[in-house]
Amino acid sequence: MQVGRSVGGRTPGRRWSLNMVLVVICAAWQSTAVLAAGHRTANFVVDAPTETLARRIGDAAEQYRHDLAIEWTGSPLPRWSRPCPIQAQVAPNLGAGGATSFVFDNGEVFNWTMTIQGSEQRILDSVLPHEITHTVFATHFRRPLPRWADEGACTTVEHPVERARQHRLLIEFLTTGRGIAFPQMFAMREYPTDVLPLYSQGYSLARYLIERGGRHKYVAFVGDGLAADDWSSALAKHYGVGGVPQLQHQWLEWVKLGCPAPPAALAAAPVPSTDWSRTSRGQSPDPVPAPPVVATPVSTTAGRRSIYASQARRPSEPGSSQPVR
Ligand SMILES: [Zn+2]
């Protein structure tokens, strides 16, 4: 998911924290395809180019909503008071991506809208589960998450091809001075200007944590970190890690080793039956080599500092000519 930003602001007479429009935009929106048919399910109203596509997307959205809520939180979501509109633009060569928006107000979340685009296959196996996971988290936490934790977790339910692409990008970013120091990343409530590293690094860290405790623990960790705004304590409680800088160090060593599966004693319980879970537990590393040369981390503190010292000239922006999620 490439481009993301939150649109939040003050509503007259309300505190910002009580009323916030959150928009999670996961790709450039570029299609001019015509939406021609609709399909209604319990929680979604889908507009798509054909009735068959609208039905497939709506049915898949309901299934993901049910399965992913259980996968992440242990129980299905209650029915929303009003359905979430989904506008789907579907074409074989359309770049995959999506955007989801919703409103937080007094601990409630509503006014869902979702736009998705891509090939039918990518919509069904990556875009839709990604966007639905945003809605699961919004419904569960009722407040914005740190961006890395939100986008990172949502990316773990995408197709393995998409996740492998994020890993390749991560290695490129880490070796070209575009990594984000963890203390800075944990403090981010908005998307940075250089957004792509947030996605790939957030995905990698979410994967690292989930492989060591499963999705329920990940959600509990994020909940505790949010509640107390104390990520070091939440890390110590759930993962036995002594703080955010130490987590950065451990994660970095894991990446350097090629992201091996954790020791059996640390691995998450083998509960998943769904494809996204089975393939994201990391029983085998992503099929990419460890970074060839790694510089010493230079900073874990303030500022837009890279985890790595820049060691090479910056390559051209990957995928800049086409939307990437
Ligand atoms: Zn997203």
Structural domain total, the chain: 2
State which amino acid sits at residue 47: D
Question: Residue 14 has what pLDDT?
Answer: 29
Cα 321 to averaged position of ligand 1 atoms, centre (Å): 20
Q: Binning pLDDT at 50, 70 and 90, where does residue 23 land?
A: low
**Same-domain pairing of 198 and 82:** no
Cα 101 to averaged position of ligand 1 atoms, centre (Å): 10
Structure tokens at 111: 């006014």
Question: Residue 317 has what pLDDT?
Answer: 28
Asked if residue 166 is part of any domain, the answer here is yes
Among residues 120, 144, 168, the one where a domain terminates is: 144
**Same-domain pairing of 190 and 241:** yes
pLDDT digits (tens, 9 = 90+) for 150-178: 999 999 999 999 999 999 999 999 999 99
**Whether the predicted pLDDT of 13 surpasses 70:** no
Number of residues that this document lists for the chain: 325
Asked if residue 311 is part of any domain, the answer here is no
Cα 134 to averaged position of ligand 1 atoms, centre (Å): 7
Cα 264 to averaged position of ligand 1 atoms, centre (Å): 31
Cα 152 to averaged position of ligand 1 atoms, centre (Å): 8
Taking only Cα atoms into account, the Rg of the chain, rounded to an integer number of angstroms, comes to: 19
Among residues 83, 113, 144, the one where a domain terminates is: 144
Cβ neighbours around 140 below 10 Å, total: 18
- What's the CATH number where 113 sits? 3.40.30
Cβ partners under 8 Å of residue 84, min gap 6: 43, 44, 45, 112, 113, 114, 135
Q: Which domain holds residue 224?
A: 148-280
Question: Residue 93 has what pLDDT?
Answer: 93
**Same-domain pairing of 214 and 256:** yes
Cα 296 to averaged position of ligand 1 atoms, centre (Å): 31
Cα 77 to averaged position of ligand 1 atoms, centre (Å): 19
**Same-domain pairing of 274 and 172:** yes
**Same-domain pairing of 200 and 246:** yes
**Same-domain pairing of 234 and 166:** yes
Q: Which helix (H) or strand (E) holds 37?
A: strand 37-40
Cα 184 to averaged position of ligand 1 atoms, centre (Å): 20
**Same-domain pairing of 78 and 119:** yes
Pairing of strands 19-25, 97-105: antiparallel
Question: Residue 106 has what pLDDT?
Answer: 85
Cα 294 to averaged position of ligand 1 atoms, centre (Å): 29
Question: Residue 229 has what pLDDT?
Answer: 95
**Same-domain pairing of 167 and 152:** yes
Rounded Cα distance, 304 and 322, in Å: 26
- Residues of the chain above pLDDT 70, percent: 72
CA 149 to each of CA 168, 210, 221: distance values in angstroms, whole numbers, following the listed order? 19, 11, 10
Question: Residue 151 has what pLDDT?
Answer: 97
